[in-house]
Amino acid sequence: MQLPQPVPRQTPRHVAIIMDGNGRWAQANGLSRLEGHAEGARAVREAVRTCRKEGVEFLTLYAFSVANWGRPRAEVRALMSLLLDFAEREKQELRDQDVRLQVIGDAEELPLGTRDAVQSAIEYTADCTGMTLSLALSYGGRADIVNAARALALQVSTGQLLPEEVTEAAFQKALSTHPLPAVDLLIRTGGERRVSDFLLFESAYAELYFLPIMWPDFNAKALRDAFGFFASRERRFGLTGEQVQAAAAPLDAARNGNPSLSGSALDGVRSTSTVVPLRTGHGFDPHDASNSSLHGESANAE
């Protein structure tokens, strides 16, 4: 298995955002909810640009949940039309920034025009490798888990898969988020402190960052503050602080100029903020960071 490089990591690799507060922002500014969403789309542009600049590899945005289909029809229509505009207008910019677009969720549910525009932007950016922008559209974390369970149950019932082959890795492969790595930082604007059915499986060890500002006010500074919060966290993945610090020691030594500790001994060890233990059986191998993704095999997933 190819090990990831020892990248000092103050920046989260996978950022997921629940973009909440467009409606309240609009109300506070004497505007309609639809104008609030339009302003929200502008904030999306800035978030994408800043993440790219800061070296984020995967950005996943909760743009439309399964539950959002229950909103007033005019609002659903407006959101679909904003998505269509976004896909049409931003695809060149995404390509210029080397950002690949993809969708998680059930894109089949979208109106044809929106689906076509999104599909066209996906194809237009397919060979970009700088960052992957995933739009969660008609997405629900529970629905995704249930669909994965159903797909695996079907394989077991037809003898393609043994029950004992239903592992975390097999389960993750059956999710619509495959092959995204695990979420490192989950941000929610709008003042609420909940995850609202977003990336339930994928955020198992994510750092959670809730902020009171409404989504249209989210900007580069707010994002950098979130990264500052992330960098200050010690991620333990169920281990003790001592174990995590012991795993980080070789990297710190190399940073301090000890050449004998550079190279393969450091492979996979990230920064103190994101030291990631590998589970080899139930053991702990500090030299492998594959646990920073959902599974080792997707550690280098694009």
Please identify every residue annotated as catalytic. 20, 68
Q: Site map for ligand FPP, 129-158, x if CB under 6 A?
A: ------x-----------------------
Closest CA to 88 of 50, 115, 60, 55: 115
- Residue 24 or 224 having the CB closest to ligand FPP: 24
Contact 224, 50 (CB under 8 A): yes
Categorise residue 196: left if φ over 0, alpha if ψ from -120 to 50, beta otherwise: left
Among 139, 209, 215, 227, interactor with ligand FPP by CB under 6 A: 215
Q: Does residue 86 touch ligand FPP according to CB under 6 A?
A: yes
According to CB under 6 A, which one of 3, 15, 16, 41 is a site residue for ligand FPP?
A: 41
Q: Is 84 in the site for ligand FPP (CB under 6 A)?
A: no
To 5 degrees, how large is the angle CA 284–CA 286–CA 289? Answer: 105
Interaction residues for ligand FPP, span 155-184 (CB under 6 A): none
Number of residues that bind ligand FPP (CB under 6 A): 19
Residue of minimal Cβ distance to ligand FPP: 23
Rule CB under 6 A: choose which of 4, 40, 250, 296 binds ligand FPP. 40
19 binds ligand FPP (CB under 6 A): yes
Give min distance, CB of 224 to ligand FPP, in A.
Answer: 20
Q: Does 83 bind ligand FPP (CB under 6 A)?
A: yes
Q: Which of 17, 34, 51, 63 binds ligand FPP (CB under 6 A)?
A: 63
Considering the rule CB under 6 A, would residue 122 count as an interface residue with ligand FPP?
A: no
